[in-house]
Structure 1
Amino acid sequence: MAAVDDLQFEGAEMDTNNSCGAERVDSHPMREFGDAATSAANPGTTTIHIEGPSESPTHQPGLPRGSGGEEDDELLGNDDSDKTELLAGQKKSSPFWTFEYYQTFFDVDTYQVFDRIKGSLLPIPGKNFVRLYIRSNPDLYGPFWICATLVFAIAISGNLSNFLIHLGEKTYHYVPEFRKVSIAATIIYAYAWLVPLALWGFLMWRNSKVMNIVSYSFLEIVCVYGYSLFIYIPTAVLWIIPQKAVRWILVMIALGISGSVLAMTFWPAVREDNRRIALATIGMIVLLHTLLSVGCLAYFFDAPEMDHLPTTTVAPNQTVGTAK
């Protein structure tokens, strides 16, 4: 019996020396088969598995996430916002006096502009316009050309409307009113830049007092206001129709669409604030938008043309005859 044990011990030493001296590559199935065979042959032995650095567990249980957080992220736009800001911070920014600095504000393709215009025409309740369309790449290309197109649409449509209203009058002589272009440009661009600037300053001031969830940059607010004005371009063209009832119906439709885009976009930014302040902020945004649309309609289309009213002239030497 002792001789048999000595032979087994020597055989084990020889196998150990051979395995250390030669390189071998064995796969996981073969190693598991060998371990199983060894365990079956020697029930009393203990097998120790040492995993390499490339071996990792195939399953890791994930942390549960509540449905309420997903709904808030979907509405407020917090999902992927940190990643977007991190990627934006990694971009190399050029000095503001260089052309490359302003070129980044116009780095947008046609499909993105059309998509943002479509989003401004079809607002989705419960969806954030900034998160869906603007935050990935805010631009000034769309707002600039939308405002420029709106300026010429209002000025030209106002002149055509005035011409159609007085068409057929013998005492009327059509004179193009080029001053309407400059007046429309002043109104539209002042609204599209000064109102977002005031709103951005107000939101920054309130965020310093109340730790808010949503924050918008000045460029994002300008984008929202610029794209929300697109609905007024076809509306201004239809204002040529010389019917006041039709014009007011059109302005109410345009005001409802564009005003809902602004209200649904900025409500998440103020809803964590005081209730009265939040409602007053949204009310002021809608009120200023209403004043813009109603003011443009009243001034450029419904204003009485005093310069072209017929006047009666009396000759200086004309005498009035009396009836006998």
Structure 2
Amino acid sequence: MAAADELAFHEFEEATNLLAQTPNETTTRSDQLSPKGHVAVAMDSGGSYGAEDEVEESDKTVLLQEEKQQPGFWTFGYYQSFFDVDTSQVLDRIKGSLLPRPGHNFVRHHLRNRPDLYGPFWICATLAFVLAITGNLTLVLAQRRDPSIHYSPQFHKVTVASLTIYCYAWLVPLALWGFLRWRKGVRERMGLYTFLETVCVYGYSLFVFIPTVVLWLIPVPWLQWLFGALALALSAAGLVFTLWPVVREDTRWAAGVLLSVVVLLHALLAMGCKFYFFQPLPPEPMASPHQATSQPPATMLPPTLPRSVAA
């Protein structure tokens, strides 16, 4: 095997020998050591060397992708970027929604101008199914404690929960975004979140209700209300802390009314789910054992006629 110094700059020595033989001609050598491109070494009559790097295949691919037109909103390619998120980002945004604190903006610190629909979609779907399942389990547990309660599977709760959660997670942000857009025209110094950022904030704010709904299976009323109040406080606080940097430039009256409506709608959602999905069926009227074993009353027969009349 040849030594390393014997192979070093072997091709450059060939170029030097050719230049010595024909000093007035231009000699070009291409280095094949790079797998993605090659470097052209040019030697002119003046003895100057020049090097130019060709565009690699990866750069060409990037340029071709930039030249492509953006897909229309009616195609799946348009919404593909909204689901381009990894697990660490989703977990970081869930953590940010569970631990709200003043001065910590969820949009600026966690979304970073890259809102996603993956997290809100699956959070709403999980919450809807958990509501329907725990609502049925509540009736099963109630029947074990009181045999007079008749249980039958209530599959319609899945539909009701899905419509309620998804309509809230989309229509309320739409109304909020439209109101803020209108107020921005009135107060030019106000900021404005995009519609997708508003949807993303509302979607992640609902995550805290998933473990809370599971804890509502505990048959202790005051514990259920305690967990519900804590979840509502955390979720509503996250919304208020996120919206405050936007509405603080507005008038005090408009900002107060807006934040109050946001908290009120959030409270109505939580209380509505509590009263609808966790109300046991009323006990069916059942006959007592004494009435079930008692003899039926005797049938009243018409009195017999006197014998004289019968004759």
User: What's the TM-score once normalised by structure 2's chain length?
Assistant: 0.69
2:15 alignment counterpart? none
The aligned runs of 1:245-324 (5 Å cut-off) are 245-301=222-278, 303-306=279-282, 308-312=283-287, 318-319=296-297
Matched, 1:196 2:196: no
2:198 to 198, 206, 221: 221
Worse-matched range after superposition: 121-130 or 221-230: 121-130
Distance in 2 between the 1:122 and 1:309 partners?
45
TM-superposed CA distance for 1:122, in Å, is 0.8
TM-superposed CA distance for 1:168, in Å, is 4.2
Distance in 1 between the 2:149 and 2:253 partners?
53
1:13 alignment counterpart? none
- The structure whose residues are more often strand, as a share, is 2
The aligned runs of 1:1-324 (5 Å cut-off) are 93-301=70-278, 303-306=279-282, 308-312=283-287, 318-319=296-297
Distance in 1 between the 2:298 and 2:208 partners?
59
Assess if the C-alpha contact under 8 Å between 2:248 and 2:255 holds in 1: yes
Q: Could you say what secondary structure the match of 1:143 adopts?
A: helix
Distance in 1 between the 2:114 and 2:173 partners?
18
Q: Which AA in structure 1 matches 2:220? A: Q
Distance in 1 between the 2:69 and 2:211 partners?
40
Runs of 4+ in structure 1 deviating by more than 4 angstroms, as ranges, are none
TM-superposed CA distance for 1:190, in Å, is 0.7
TM-superposed CA distance for 1:312, in Å, is 3.5
Distance in 2 between the 1:119 and 1:223 partners?
12
Distance in 2 between the 1:221 and 1:200 partners?
7
| Deviations 1:183-222 (CA, angstroms, capped at 9, x unpaired) | 1111111100000000000000000111134210000000
Q: Could you say what secondary structure the match of 2:153 adopts?
A: coil
Q: Which AA in structure 1 matches 2:137? A: L
Distance in 1 between the 2:196 and 2:85 partners?
14
TM-superposed CA distance for 1:92, in Å, is 6.1
Distance in 1 between the 2:68 and 2:177 partners?
24
Assess if the C-alpha contact under 8 Å between 2:85 and 2:116 holds in 1: yes
TM-superposed CA distance for 1:93, in Å, is 3.3
Which sections of structure 1, spanning at least 5 residues, go unmatched? Answer: 1-89
Change (3 A) 1:299 1:228: same
Distance in 2 between the 1:114 and 1:91 partners?
33
Task: Figure out how many residues of one structure are paired with residues of the other and give that number.
Answer: 229
Q: Could you say what secondary structure the match of 1:193 adopts?
A: helix
Q: Which AA in structure 2 matches 1:128? A: N
TM-superposed CA distance for 1:311, in Å, is 3.1
2:302 alignment counterpart? none
Assess if the C-alpha contact under 8 Å between 1:231 and 1:254 holds in 2: yes
Which sections of structure 2, spanning at least 5 residues, go unmatched? Answer: 1-66, 300-311
Assess if the C-alpha contact under 8 Å between 2:190 and 2:247 holds in 1: no
Distance in 1 between the 2:68 and 2:106 partners?
24
Distance in 2 between the 1:290 and 1:169 partners?
31
User: What's the TM-score once normalised by structure 1's chain length?
Assistant: 0.67
Assess if the C-alpha contact under 8 Å between 1:172 and 1:310 holds in 2: no
TM-superposed CA distance for 1:234, in Å, is 0.3
Q: Which AA in structure 1 matches 2:286? A: T
Q: Which AA in structure 2 matches 1:242? A: P
Q: Could you say what secondary structure the match of 1:96 adopts?
A: coil
